[in-house]
Amino acid sequence: VPFTTDEILYVGDRVDNDLRPGKLAGMHTALIRRGPWATIQWNTEEAKSLPTMRVYRLTELPELIAKFNAER
């Protein structure tokens, strides 16, 4: 069964190359703070407002996704 774009979570470490395109495609997005770009962009207004969720580690995602899905 194919997924619709609003059932996909795009995880990336860059607002410009990951989150913006994912959001434009209709996906939910998660910003992970790893690597130089995420560190540089982490405290920008767009990095705070654009993603569906923000994480420091991938291991945080299952709990956040479950909570997000329960609230939908």
Residue-range definition of the domain harbouring residue 38:
5-71
Question: b vs e for 22-42, b when ≥16 Cβ sit within 10 Å of the residue's Cβ?
Answer: bbeeebbbbbbeeeebbeebe
Confidence of residue 10 (pLDDT cuts 50, 70, 90): very high
pLDDT of 3 > 90? The answer is: no
18-67: pLDDT as tens digits: 999 999 999 999 999 999 999 999 999 999 999 999 999 999 999 999 99
Q: Determine the pLDDT at residue 59.
A: 97
pTM: 0.91
Residue 58 CB partners (closer than 8 Å, separation 6+): 11, 32
Overall number of domains in the chain: 1
Instruction: Report the CATH number at residue 11.
Output: 3.40.50.1000
Q: Determine the pLDDT at residue 18.
A: 97
pLDDT of 1 > 90? The answer is: no
Q: Are 38 and 55 in contact (CB under 8 A)?
A: no
